[in-house]
Amino acid sequence: MDRLLLDHRSDRRARFVAALATACLTLAALPGCLAQRPYLPSDNPSAWRVRLARLGVAPIQDPDSDADAPVDKPSDALTTRRERTPAATTSRRWHLDIGLRTSHTKLSSTEQQLDRRLDLPLKTDILGVFSRPSTPIDRKSNLGLNSAFIGVGRAENEKLTWTWYFAGGTGEDRSDQRWLHLRLKVNFKYGTYLTGVSTEYYPWGRPEYSGLRTWGQRFQKSRPYVYSGIEGGYISGQGKGEFTVFGRGLYKDGVTVRDWVVGFPIGLGWRIPLTEQWSFALAGGYTFHVYRPDEYNGWNFLTGLRYRF
């Protein structure tokens, strides 16, 4: 029995000595292993040197390699793509438009009604003391049918841009003429309220907004475009006329117009860049209407400013 206990203790002592010897050998060989293999997360040191170089961190040098050996650099294609990324993110595609729209519509039925309704009071003036009152026809001839517009839109690519806009304008023409106990009074009021979507197509690309130091450079980088769209809205008009003698009404008339309209504008324009954010546009075209085309069809002239953001 004593012999078995002695053999068991000798066996445990031998295992402990073997484990201790193995640990000492491992610690002794560790510095050599570290000296032979640098600390690299990958088996391809060149790939990690390239990644570290892009981050601006000095690459880890292999102690056994030549210190003067060149380090791989990112390709030119990667560098070019990285340099273009900020420019792409800072490009201004959205815009805000403000401007003035002048209309030269037909107003055929309005002109016929005015001629017919003003004929009697003007013929009553046998002495010719009254002049013909100012009407919407005169305002149209003087390019006075104006409306302001504001819109917001986006450039989808180098050739196509769209804008959603609102336009509105009101006006009034008054004529009050007196001679002794005769009086001719004529008043006209009108209002136009429209909204729609227009597109601009630039055959040779949109204007360039860089290097705008002189007006020559601005005109050189300006571009023509074709615009079209669809719009709808509400048009109102009201006219009143009265001819009195000694305060008594000899003739009195009135007319009211309330129309909902849908139109399709199309035309040509030219956009001139002013700064990196602002541009100026001149455009002219024709609008075709579905309802009462003899009244509302006509030419339009637009001037506006555009702010890119």
Q: Specify the pLDDT at position 85.
A: 38
Which of 104 and 63 is assigned the larger pLDDT?
Answer: 104
Shared domain for 62 and 101, answered yes or no, is no
Whichever domain contains 249, its CATH number is 2.40.160.20
Is the pTM of the predicted complex or chain greater than 0.85? no
| 180 pLDDT tier (thresholds 50, 70, 90) | confident
Domain residues for 112? 95-308
Shared domain for 21 and 159, answered yes or no, is no
Residues in the chain: 309
Shared domain for 255 and 115, answered yes or no, is yes
Q: Cα 282–283–286 angle (5° rounding)?
A: 160
Shared domain for 126 and 49, answered yes or no, is no
Shared domain for 154 and 300, answered yes or no, is yes
Count of the separate structural domains present in the chain: 2
Per-residue pLDDT at 51 exceeds 70: no
Shared domain for 126 and 226, answered yes or no, is yes
| 84 pLDDT tier (thresholds 50, 70, 90) | very low
| 114 pLDDT tier (thresholds 50, 70, 90) | confident
Q: Specify the pLDDT at position 221.
A: 95
Which of 158 and 53 is assigned the larger pLDDT?
Answer: 158
| 243 pLDDT tier (thresholds 50, 70, 90) | confident
Chain centre to alpha carbon of residue 39:
53
Are the C-beta atoms of 202 and 159 separated by less than 8 Å? yes
Shared domain for 75 and 146, answered yes or no, is no
Residue type, 25: L
Chain centre to alpha carbon of residue 184:
50
Q: 94-105 and 223-245: which strand pairing? A: unpaired
| 13 pLDDT tier (thresholds 50, 70, 90) | low
Q: How far apart are CA 237 and CA 177, in angstroms?
A: 22
Shared domain for 78 and 114, answered yes or no, is no
Q: Specify the pLDDT at position 40.
A: 47
Shared domain for 120 and 66, answered yes or no, is no
Which of 124 and 264 is assigned the larger pLDDT?
Answer: 264
Per-residue pLDDT at 129 exceeds 50: yes
Q: Which of 261, 267, 270, 300 is nearest to 143 (CA)?
A: 300
Q: Specify the pLDDT at position 160.
A: 97
Shared domain for 78 and 108, answered yes or no, is no
Q: Which of 87, 116, 150 is the last residue of a domain?
A: 87
Q: Specify the pLDDT at position 167.
A: 97
Share of the chain above pLDDT 70, in %: 68
Which of 128 and 296 is assigned the larger pLDDT?
Answer: 296
| 79 pLDDT tier (thresholds 50, 70, 90) | very low
Q: Cα 281–285–288 angle (5° rounding)?
A: 140
* The token pair that represents 85 in the structure block: 């990324």
Q: Specify the pLDDT at position 86.
A: 39
For residue range 253-290, what is the model confidence (pLDDT) as tens digits?
888 889 999 999 999 999 999 999 999 999 999 999 99
Per-residue pLDDT at 29 exceeds 70: no
Shared domain for 138 and 9, answered yes or no, is no
User: According to the 3-state scheme, what is the secondary structure of the chain?
Assistant: CHHHHHHHHHHHHHHHHHHHHHHHHHHHHHHHHHHHCCCCCCCCHHHHHHHHHHCCCCCCCCCCCCCCCCCCCCCHHHHHHHHHHHHHHCCCCEEEEEEEEEEEECCHHHHHHHHHHHHHHHHHCCCCCCCCCCCHHHHHHCCCEEEEEEEEEEECCCCEEEEEEEEEEEEEEEEEEEECCEEEEEEEEEEEEEEEEEEEECCCCCCCCCCCCCHHHHHHCCEEEEEEEEEEEEEEEEEEEEEEECCEEEEEEEEEEEEEEEEEEEEEEEEEECCCCEEEEEEEEEEEECCCHHHHCEEEEEEEEEEEC
| pLDDT averaged over every residue in the chain | 79
Shared domain for 138 and 260, answered yes or no, is yes
